[in-house]
Amino acid sequence: MIRILTAYHFQPKPGEAVENDVYRPLVLPVRDPLATHDPIMEENSFAEMRAHHWAQLNWESGVTHYGFQHYRRWFLLEPFGLGRTRFALNVVSRTTFDSILATLRPMPRERQEALSAWAQPLEIVAAMPVNLYSDLAAQFVEVHGIEPWRALLAALDEIKWDGPRNARVFYPGNMFIIRPEPFALYMTFWREVMRLLSPVLKPERGTYQERIFGFLSERLWTLWLLRNRRTGAFGVTHVPVLHCAEWTG
């Protein structure tokens, strides 16, 4: 069975979340006995990567793939009435977004099983990449500054990373659906880099830069995925993303 976790940074109101055997809401940071005093869960800067961390440590029996999306950014795995769109990011109003989620809540068992059957032969399902006008480094530095990027490159050098350090595409949102084998490899890579970045980068509390480790993780996922696509280590399937631009709260 595929299991897609929808990360929330707040407790969703009744009627906002979609919950069945395929879709599960996950409020971050997770507050349960398995996450008590977990240093990653306690650090807001890891953002939605805390869902990845939790899923790897708590992989449920019978789940063949875990997926990760956001409360206002969803994989377009359903015929949402948007046609055969091939845009990477499909922006809709809050009204449209809410109506789409309303169609998913009563998802019948056979549709859930069909989604799991679709995912079964796939190794990695990634959010469709965005083509950049410049490159990954320039895009990051423009928004987040040069020092975090320099720290990332230094960390990649220290672990003797043999993959790319820049790209002309960007896989946004830390969103993917993945089997346990590539997930374990990616999370090992992610933890190695974060272990080196955590002592030298200090999130700017109360600002956009507070989530700096989450933003860096998007670039790590991009570089890791490109490296493994180049080597043919894992098959990658791309799907577009639905984005609600009007969500407040």
Tell me which of 30-34, 78-82, 162-166 is least confident.
78-82
Has residue 249 got a pLDDT over 80?
no
How would residue 82 be classed by pLDDT, with cut points 50, 70 and 90? Answer: low
Residues 88 and 127 sit within 8 Å (Cβ to Cβ)? yes
Name residue 26's beta-bridge partners.
7
Tell me which of 15-24, 79-88, 95-104, 115-124 is least confident.
79-88
Q: Give me the pLDDT at residue 35, please.
A: 61
129: Cβ contacts below 8 Å, ≥ 6 apart? 88, 169, 170, 171, 172, 222, 238
Q: Work out the mean pLDDT of the chain and round it to a whole number.
A: 90
Q: Give me the pLDDT at residue 150, please.
A: 97
At residue 49, the 3 state secondary structure works out as helix
The DSSP line for 192-213 is HHHHHHTTT----TTSGGGGHH
How far is residue 12's CA from residue 98's CA, in Å, rounded to a whole number? 13
Tell me which of 35-39, 91-95, 105-109, 129-133 is least confident.
35-39
Q: What is the mean pLDDT of residues 206-229?
A: 94
Beta-strand (E) ranges in 79-155? Answer: 89-92, 124-127, 130-131
Q: Whose CA is closest to 55, among 69, 72, 42, 74?
A: 69
How would residue 41 be classed by pLDDT, with cut points 50, 70 and 90? Answer: confident
pTM of the model: 0.93
Has residue 14 got a pLDDT over 90?
no
Residues 92 and 111 sit within 8 Å (Cβ to Cβ)? no
The more confident residue out of 83 and 11 is 11
pLDDT tens, 175-216? 999 999 999 999 999 999 999 999 999 888 888 889 999 999
Amino acid identity of residue 68, one-letter, is: F
Q: Give me the pLDDT at residue 83, please.
A: 56
The more confident residue out of 145 and 43 is 145
Residues 225 and 171 sit within 8 Å (Cβ to Cβ)? yes
Amino acid identity of residue 217, one-letter, is: S
Q: Residue 223: what are its φ and ψ, rounded to 5°?
A: -65, -40
Q: What is the mean pLDDT of residues 62-87?
A: 83
Has residue 158 got a pLDDT over 90?
yes
Q: Give me the pLDDT at residue 103, please.
A: 87
Q: Whose CA is closest to 72, among 228, 246, 249, 243?
A: 243
How far is residue 247's CA from residue 249's CA, in Å, rounded to a whole number? 7
Tell me which of 29-33, 51-55, 69-73 is least confident.
29-33
Q: What is the mean pLDDT of residues 166-182?
A: 95
